[in-house]
Chain A
Amino acid sequence: MKKIILTATAIILCVSVINAQKVVCKIKGSDTCLPLSQKLSEKFMKKYAGSSISVTGGGSGVGISALLNSTTDIAQSSRPLSMDEKLKLQEAGKAYKQTIIAYDAISFIVNPANGVNQLTREQLEGIYTGKIKNWKEVGGADMTIVVYSRESSSGTYDFVKEHVLMKKNFASTCMLMPATGAIVQSVSQTKGAIGYVGLAYVEKNVKALKVSYDKGKTYVAPSVANAKNKTYPITRPLYYYYLNSTEKTILPFINFILSAEGQQIVLTEGYVPIK
């Protein structure tokens, strides 16, 4: 009888351990993180039956707002928290954690028919601030530049403004798009268009430009390898923000992302692993 009870207990414990990996949560926020989060959650749910992870986009700002008003468990973000957001979380008594899940290279994309293959940071700044209005000014055809950007709630928007435009404001003529997919579609359909997206969104219907941050001495293409070896200059971490109060329930998913298996998925999806 003792042996039966012990064996039964051991079986129950094993099954319990597997079930403890079950995660039910919502992820909301960055469009840049969206494909990665969807893939990771898909794999996790297949591995641990009973898990349910829903993933939606809307932009980093939208995700962080949702974390503040408790309508999401994880805010995925392509930028760090702003001071106002930190203050709001502090004021709400919400202690939070930040985890870097991957890195991303921001790619500037043009229509495949565009003859321009590379631009310096200064030229990108000129285009996005409205100083450069025609492709001929940067060695291309005589064609008006149609500039696409993300909306101001996007972490990618903030990052490009800080690191490419050096905090200068976007031109008022920029077409603001609510989602990364919309930028890819618009650029693929408009000959004179330029836009910026996370590396994972670069598809065959658009062309990624090489970028120079040393005034044209060297140009580097956006790729996982170049982001990993730090030769591509426009890379940034991708964050998950979550509250201390929910950490216990989502920790198995976080650990999965940071594991070798999770980081392999990061690499496969076109992002840069954290190690």
Chain B
Amino acid sequence: MKIKFIPMMFFFLLYLGINKMYAQEQPQANGDTISPKIEEVKKSIDLLKTEIDILKKIKFSGYIQGQFQLADRVGTKTYEGGDFSPISDKRFMVRRGRLKLAYMGDLTQYVLQIDVTEKGFALKDAYASFTEPWLKTFGITVGVFNRPFGFEIPYSSSLRESPERARMSQILFPGERDLGAELVIQAPKTVRIWSGFKLEAGLFSGNGINPDFKEIKDFIGHLTYTGSTKNELFKYSAGVSYYNGKVYQGTKYIYSMNTLKDNMTKGFTVDSAATNKGGYAKREYFGADIQLIIATPVIGITQLRGEFIMGQQPAYDNLGSTSTSDATFSKTPPTRDTYIRKFNGAYFYLVQNIGKSKFGIVVKYDWYDPNTDVKGQDVKPTYSYTDGTGTVIPNNKTLLSASDIKYQTLGIGVNYKMTENIKWTVYGAWVVNEKTGITGYGGDLYDNVYTLRMQYKF
């Protein structure tokens, strides 16, 4: 018995001994020696706290989006990250490599953000802002920052559920940012009535992230109201936006849409008054946006977003590019002709998180019609008319081109939030263009793009 008992006790005491090593030790009660030490520790903590409070104001953040894409054919022209190489339908790319430094004071902020990819280095944000200390309602921001228009422009690319913004956002606001100054009015949460409203309005150069060479500045404004239900299960936000700007006219040739000589066909006619050169064409947008967020216990969070923009967009020349954003992203005063078009566009998002899982589904539909004066087969390069003598005059130029074709895009994707830092996205963008009389655009182009992306964010 004795022999058996000793090993048992040995095991038991050994195990208890190991556990006691990890047990919480109780401090020896000795007031004379403990109190001064506690005071010393308190002083050190206060000193450390002061230094930590200063350091906490400096924030580094960033994200990298590495992706692989597959297009329907080589050389696909696309708004899913830029055109493909003329000899390839597959590519790797670092779509965005952002590094952001911010210094957050109590009512002030300094932000510098750069983008570094295999394509090069680019400035994204460089601005300072402050809010007045009395009402904490009025603020000013100066520098290069997101244009205050709509929802999708200021919504971070790291949060957005689809890889790219809608076509209209990329065309109308290339680079998203502009150089200027804005006033922000938003009452703090504790102020009656007004705290749901936010007004952002400012003057900008109108050239994106480029030097300001224009005499006339562009006005951009966005007014939103945000609210939620009592139980925070439903949140809504609605806004209206307005852009009033000017595009420099580099030559005396200003082209605008009119009815042509056959009294039927629409196309560009030219105004060639000498005084046009050095003047300005109107750039004006009207926008409305809405966001709804619904949280249901089992299904998860559902987000519905929509935005509509219409207006007048001046563009340079008629080189047949599908983009009309060249006039609004110019580094220097242009020396090219100006084309003026009326446009409209919209996007709609449905984002559904799957319960409390890490998965989410996104469905997006958007359209952009760069020239609402013409549709379908009316978008053609030439027309015929009968002159006063009854002679048919063929092959007159309408000056319409690929820049006047309407596009619709349906995107469907899945996001997986693997960890706090990593998000995977699989996304397909199916693009349908208007069938027109322009050579090469008689049918729907093979320009769908499929994306697999990994984002690391910190």
Contacts and interface: CB of A to CB of B under 8 A. Distances in A.
A169 B192 contact: yes
A19 B15 CA distance: 12
Interface in A12-66: 12, 15, 19, 45, 49-52
Interface in B344-386: 353, 356-358, 360
A86 B301 contact: yes
A80 B8 contact: no
A83 B232 contact: yes
B12 interface: yes
B16 A90 contact: no
A212 to B, nearest CB: 21
A87 B232 CA distance: 12
Contacts of A86: 295, 301
Nearest to B18: A15
Given A15-B19, A93-B418, A4 B189 contact: no
Given A83-B293, A93-B423, A152-B189, A8 B12 contact: yes
18 contacts: A7-B8, A8-B12, A11-B11, A12-B15, A15-B16, A50-B22, A80-B232, A81-B232, A83-B232, A83-B295, A86-B301, A90-B353, A90-B417, A91-B159, A93-B418, A93-B419, A94-B420, A176-B190
Interface residues of A, number: 39
Given A4-B7, A83-B235, A93 B191 contact: no
Contacts of A172: 190-192
A94 B15 CA distance: 37
A129 B192 CA distance: 9
Contacts of A45: 24
Q: Which 8 A-B pairs have the closest CB atoms?
A: A93-B417, A169-B192, A8-B11, A83-B235, A50-B23, A152-B189, A49-B23, A92-B420
B228 A83 contact: yes
A41 to B, nearest CB: 13
A80 B189 contact: no
A86 B12 CA distance: 48
Contacts of A4: 4, 7-8
A91 B417 contact: yes
A170 interface: yes
B190 A162 contact: no
B293 A82 contact: no
Contacts of A215: none
B19 to A, nearest CB: 6
Given A50-B22, A82-B228, 14 more contacts: A8-B12, A11-B8, A11-B11, A19-B19, A49-B23, A83-B295, A86-B295, A90-B360, A91-B159, A92-B417, A93-B358, A95-B357, A169-B193, A170-B190
Interface in B302-361: 353, 356-358, 360
Interface string A152-186: 10000000001000011111101010000000000
Contacts of B4: 3-4
Interface in B150-192: 159, 188-192
B195 A169 contact: yes
Contacts of B418: 93
B425 to A, nearest CB: 13
A256 interface: no
B37 interface: no
B444 to A, nearest CB: 36
Nearest to A97: B356
Nearest to A12: B15
